[in-house]
A and B are shown apart, each in its own frame.
Chain A
Amino acid sequence: MAIASNTKTPAASRATGGIRVALIGCSHRTAPVELRERVAFTAEQALDAAGELRRRGILEEAVVLSTCNRSELYGVPAATDSAVTEEMEEFLTSFHGISRTELDGRLYRWEGTDAVRHLYRVAAGLDSMLLGEAEILGQLRTAYGQALDHGSTGPVLNRAFQGALEVGKRVRAETEVGARPMSVALAGTKLAERVFGNLKGHAALIVGAGAVAEQVVEHLRSRGIGNLRVVNRSHDHATELAQRMGGEAVRWELLEKVLAAPDIIVTSVSSTGPVLTREMLDRSIAARGGRPVFVVDLGVPRNVAPESAGLYNLYLYNIDDLGEIVEQNKRAREAEIPRVEAIIIEHIAKFEAWRAALQAGSIVEDLRGRFRKHREVLLRERLAEMKDLSPEERQRLSSITEELIERVLDEPAERLRNAREMRGRLGAIEALRHLFGIDRDSGKGGKGGGGE
Chain B
Amino acid sequence: MLNHMGYVSLALYAASFLVYARLLYAPKIWLGRLATLLLAGGIVAHYFALLERSMGTHTVPYDDLYGSMSLFAWLLGLTYLGLELFHRQRSVGAFVTLLLFAWMAILGWLAPHEMPSLPPARGPLFAFHVTLNTWAYAAFALSFVLSIVYLVQDRVLRSHRPGAAFWRFPALDVLDRMSRSSVFVGLAALAFGVASGLVWEHRLTGMYAWGDPKVIVTLLIVGVYIAYLFLSRTSGWRGARAARICTLNFAIVLFSYTLVNLYLTRFHRFF
Interface residues in chain A, defined as those with a beta carbon under 8 Å from any beta carbon in chain B: 173, 176, 179-180, 190-191, 193-198, 285-286, 289-292, 309, 312-313, 315, 317, 321, 324-325, 328, 332
Residues of A within 8 A of B241 (CB): 312
Q: Are B158 and A176 in contact (CB under 8 A)?
A: no
Residues of A within 8 A of B167 (CB): 179-180, 190, 194
A289 to chain B, nearest CB (A): 5
Instruction: List residues 195-238 of chain B with CB under 8 A from any CB of chain A.
Output: 233-238
Q: Are B160 and A292 in contact (CB under 8 A)?
A: no
Q: Are A193 and B160 in contact (CB under 8 A)?
A: no
Q: Are A194 and B164 in contact (CB under 8 A)?
A: no
Residues of A within 8 A of B158 (CB): 309, 315
A312 to B157, CA, bound (A): 13
A333 to chain B, nearest CB (A): 11
Residues of A within 8 A of B236 (CB): 286, 290, 312
Residues of B within 8 A of A309 (CB): 158
Residues of A within 8 A of B102 (CB): none
Q: Are B26 and A173 in contact (CB under 8 A)?
A: yes
Q: A289-B235, A290-B235, A315-B157 are in contact. Are A197 and B171 (CB under 8 A)?
A: yes
A408 to B26, CA, bound (A): 53
Cβ-defined partner of A312 (8 Å) among B161, B170, B239: B239
Instruction: Give the number of chain B interface residues (Cβ < 8 Å).
Output: 27
Would you mind naming 28 contact pairs between A and B with Cβ atoms under 8 Å apart?
Answer: A173-B26, A176-B164, A179-B167, A191-B162, A194-B157, A194-B169, A195-B157, A195-B171, A197-B170, A197-B172, A197-B173, A286-B236, A289-B233, A289-B234, A289-B235, A290-B236, A290-B238, A290-B239, A291-B238, A312-B239, A313-B239, A313-B240, A315-B157, A315-B158, A317-B160, A321-B160, A325-B160, A328-B161
A31 to B213, CA, bound (A): 80
Residue on A with the closest CB to B241? A312
A76 to B237, CA, bound (A): 67
Residue B255 lies at the interface, judged by CB distance under 8 Å to chain A = no
A197 to B164, CA, bound (A): 18
A368 to B258, CA, bound (A): 84
A173 to B30, CA, bound (A): 14
Identify the interface centre among B162, B169, B170: most chain A CB within 10 Å of its CB: B162
Residue B36 lies at the interface, judged by CB distance under 8 Å to chain A = no
Residue B174 lies at the interface, judged by CB distance under 8 Å to chain A = yes
Residue B153 lies at the interface, judged by CB distance under 8 Å to chain A = yes
A84 to B134, CA, bound (A): 76
Residues of A within 8 A of B157 (CB): 191, 194-195, 315
Q: A190-B167, A194-B172 are in contact. Are A286 and B235 (CB under 8 A)?
A: yes
Residue B166 lies at the interface, judged by CB distance under 8 Å to chain A = yes
A313 to B235, CA, bound (A): 10
Residue on B with the closest CB to A190? B167
A182 to B161, CA, bound (A): 15
Known: A194-B153, A195-B173, A313-B240; 8 extra A-B contacts, CB below 8 A, are A191-B157, A194-B171, A197-B172, A290-B237, A292-B173, A312-B240, A324-B160, A328-B161
* 9 cross-chain pairs, A with B, having the tightest CB-CB distances, nearest first: A290-B235, A197-B171, A173-B26, A197-B173, A197-B174, A321-B160, A313-B239, A289-B235, A290-B238
Q: Are A195 and B160 in contact (CB under 8 A)?
A: no
Residue B25 lies at the interface, judged by CB distance under 8 Å to chain A = yes
Residues of B within 8 A of A190 (CB): 167
Q: Are A196 and B171 in contact (CB under 8 A)?
A: yes
How many residue-residue contacts, CB under 8 A, span A and B? Answer: 67
A286 to B238, CA, bound (A): 12
A191 to chain B, nearest CB (A): 7
Residues of A within 8 A of B171 (CB): 193-198
A317 to B238, CA, bound (A): 21
Residue on B with the closest CB to A173? B26
A313 to B157, CA, bound (A): 11
Q: Are A179 and B239 in contact (CB under 8 A)?
A: no
A328 to B160, CA, bound (A): 11
A195 to B239, CA, bound (A): 10
Q: Are A292 and B237 in contact (CB under 8 A)?
A: no
A183 to chain B, nearest CB (A): 15
Residues of B within 8 A of A176 (CB): 164
A292 to B235, CA, bound (A): 10
Residues of A within 8 A of B174 (CB): 197
Cβ-defined partner of A332 (8 Å) among B164, B169, B240: B164
Instruction: List residues 23-68 of chain B with CB under 8 A from any CB of chain A.
Output: 25-26
Residues of B within 8 A of A290 (CB): 234-239
Residue on A with the closest CB to B234? A290
Residues of A within 8 A of B161 (CB): 328
Identify the interface centre among B158, B235, B238: most chain A CB within 10 Å of its CB: B235
B149 to chain A, nearest CB (A): 12
Residue on A with the closest CB to B167? A180
Interface string of B137-174 (1 = CB under 8 A from A): 00000000000000001000110111010110111111
Residue on A with the closest CB to B235? A290
Residue on A with the closest CB to B175? A197
Q: Are A196 and B238 in contact (CB under 8 A)?
A: no
Interface string of B171-197 (1 = CB under 8 A from A): 111100000000000000000000000
B234 to chain A, nearest CB (A): 7
B244 to chain A, nearest CB (A): 12
Residues of A within 8 A of B162 (CB): 191, 194, 325, 328
Residues of A within 8 A of B166 (CB): 194
B29 to chain A, nearest CB (A): 14
Residues of B within 8 A of A289 (CB): 233-235, 238
A183 to B107, CA, bound (A): 47
Residues of B within 8 A of A179 (CB): 25, 167
A9 to chain B, nearest CB (A): 36
Residues of B within 8 A of A194 (CB): 153, 157, 162, 166-167, 169, 171-172
Q: A179-B167, A196-B171, A196-B173 are in contact. Are A313 and B160 (CB under 8 A)?
A: no
Identify the interface centre among A313, A317, A332: most chain B CB within 10 Å of its CB: A313
Q: Are B235 and A195 in contact (CB under 8 A)?
A: no
B92 to chain A, nearest CB (A): 11
A285 to B239, CA, bound (A): 13
A291 to B26, CA, bound (A): 30
